[in-house]
A and B are shown apart, each in its own frame.
Chain A
Amino acid sequence: MSAVALPSSDDVTPPAHSAPAGLRGLVSDWSSDKEAFHVAWGKAMMWIFLLSDTFIFGSFLTGYMTVRASTTVPWPNPSEVFALHVGGSNVPLLLIAIMTFVLISSSGTMAMAVNFAYRGDRFNAAALMFVTAAFGEMFVFMQAFEWSKLILHEGVRPWGNPMGAAQFGSTFFMITGFHGLHVTAGVIYLIVVATRLLRGKYEKKGYQIVEIAGLYWHFVDLVWVFIFAFFYLW
C-alpha cells in the first residue's frame, strides 16, 4: 500500500503554466490527481452516500426521541401494539422478531455473494443476490402486513391512535416507511446488479459493484438494528 505514493508530492513548486485557469483550473486544483481513499470511486461514493443517509435516519430517530420524551400522554406499549395472536395467547413483537431475522439472513447471503464475486464466481454471486432480494421482498411484505394491521385493526393514524400519545403514529409511519422505501429500492438495485452480473456486463470493470451494492444492503440492515432497538424494544 505504501507503493501508492502521490505523483505530485515531490513537486513543491509546480510551473505556473501547468495549472490551467478558469473553471478548468478550479477542477484541477481541487482534484490534482490526488486520491484520498484508495478504493474504487464507486465504493467511496457509496460510503459517502451512506454517511448522508446515516444523518437522515439519525435525525428521524432524534426527532422520535424528542416527541416521545416531551409528551405528557403515555406512549403506547410497543410490546403490546406489535404482538401477534398465536395459539390463543399474545406473543409480543413476534412479527418484528421474524422481520429482524429475515433481514439479518439477507445480510448473511449478501456477504456471501460479495465473497463469491471476489472469488470470480459470478453465477453463485448472482444467485445469492437474488436470494438476498427475495429475503428483502419478504421483509417488505411483512411490513405491509404490519402496517395494514395497525391501520385497519388498531386504528393507528399519523395524527392519533386509541392507545396513547398521538405522536406514535406519525413517527412510526415516517421511520418505518422510510426504511421500507430503502429496502424496496435495495431489492430493485440488487436485482438490476445481479441480472447485469449474469449477463457479463462487469467482466471488464471487475466485480467491485457487488461489494458496493452489498454496502447499501448491509446499511439497510444496520438501520433496522437501530429502529428495532429504539422503536420496538424501548
Chain B
Amino acid sequence: MTTAATTHGQTHPISLYLKIWGLLFVLSTLSYLVDYFHFHGLLRWGLIVTFMLLKAGLIVAVFMHMAWERLALVYAILVPPLALMVLVGLMWAEADYTFLTRLFFFR
C-alpha cells in the first residue's frame, strides 16, 4: 500500500475532489438550462458541446488522475480516440448523401 502511494502519489486533498464535484454540478445545471430556456441553433449546440467537453475534461483530468499521469500513458489513451473524428466526418458525409437521396426518391 505504501509502495503504491509513494510511486504514484495520487493523494490529493479531499477539497480538490469536492471542488470538482461542485463544478460538475454547476456545469450539468448549465447544460440543463440550455434545454430549459429553449436556446436554439448555433448558440445551443455551442453551449452543449462546450459544457460537455468541460465536464469530460474535469472527469478525465482530476477524477481519473490523467493530469498527474506520465505522458506515455496520457498519449496512449487520449490520442487514439481522435480517430473517431475521422469516422464522424465520413459518416456525416454519408448521412448527408443518404438524406439527399431520400429527398429525391422517397418523398
* Known A211-B10, A218-B63; contact A51-B35, beta-carbon cutoff 8 A: no
Does A184 sit at the interface, judged by CB under 8 A?
Answer: no
Query: Which A residues are CB-close (under 8 A) to B81?
Result: 51, 54-55, 58
Query: Which B residues are CB-close (under 8 A) to A54?
Result: 81, 84
Write the nearest CB–CB distance from A234 to chain B, whole angstroms.
Answer: 7
Q: Which of B44-76 contact A (CB under 8 A)?
A: 45, 48-49, 51-52, 55-56, 59-60, 62-65, 69-70, 72-73, 76
Query: Which A residues are CB-close (under 8 A) to B92?
Result: 65-66, 69
Write the nearest CB–CB distance from A212 to chain B, whole angstroms.
Answer: 11
Tally of A interface residues using CB under 8 Å: 62
A55 touches B102 (CB 8 A): no
Query: Which B residues are CB-close (under 8 A) to A92?
Result: 35-36
Q: Complex Cα distance A109/B20, Å?
A: 12
Q: Which of B7, B11, B45, B73 contacts A119 (CB 8 A)?
A: B11
B17 touches A72 (CB 8 A): no
B17 touches A115 (CB 8 A): yes
Q: Complex Cα distance A108/B56, Å?
A: 14
Q: Chain B 7-31, CB within 8 Å of chain A: the 1/0 string?
A: 1101110100110110011001001
Q: Complex Cα distance A62/B93, Å?
A: 12
Query: Which B residues are CB-close (under 8 A) to A190?
Result: none
Give the interface segment out of A19-27, A97-105, A135-143, A155-163: A97-105
Does B42 sit at the interface, judged by CB under 8 A?
Answer: no
Does A206 sit at the interface, judged by CB under 8 A?
Answer: yes
Q: Which of A36, A69, A232 contacts B95 (CB 8 A)?
A: A69
Does B43 sit at the interface, judged by CB under 8 A?
Answer: no
The size bracket of the interface on B is 35 or more
* Known A72-B103, A105-B21, A221-B59; contact A1-B87, beta-carbon cutoff 8 A: no
Q: Chain A 184-224, CB within 8 Å of chain B: the 1/0 string?
A: 00000000000000000011001110010011001101100
Query: Which A residues are CB-close (under 8 A) to B84?
Result: 54-55, 58-59, 62
Q: Find the A residue at minimum CB distance from B45.
A: A234
* Known A54-B81, A92-B36, A93-B32; contact A1-B59, beta-carbon cutoff 8 A: no
Does A225 sit at the interface, judged by CB under 8 A?
Answer: yes
Q: Complex Cα distance A105/B59, Å?
A: 12
Show 5 A/B contacts (Cβ-Cβ < 8 Å), sorted by A: A38-B7, A47-B73, A66-B94, A100-B28, A218-B63
- Interface of B with A (CB < 8 Å)? 1-5, 7-8, 10-12, 14, 17-18, 20-21, 24-25, 28, 31-32, 34-36, 38, 45, 48-49, 51-52, 55-56, 59-60, 62-65, 69-70, 72-73, 76-77, 80-81, 84, 87-88, 91-92, 94-96, 98-99, 102-103, 106-107
A105-B21, A233-B48 given. 17 additional CB < 8 A pairs?
A1-B70, A36-B72, A59-B84, A66-B98, A69-B92, A72-B99, A72-B106, A79-B35, A97-B32, A104-B21, A107-B21, A108-B17, A114-B10, A120-B5, A214-B64, A219-B64, A222-B59
Report the 3 A-B pairs with minimum CB-CB distance, sorted nearest first: A108-B21, A69-B95, A70-B98
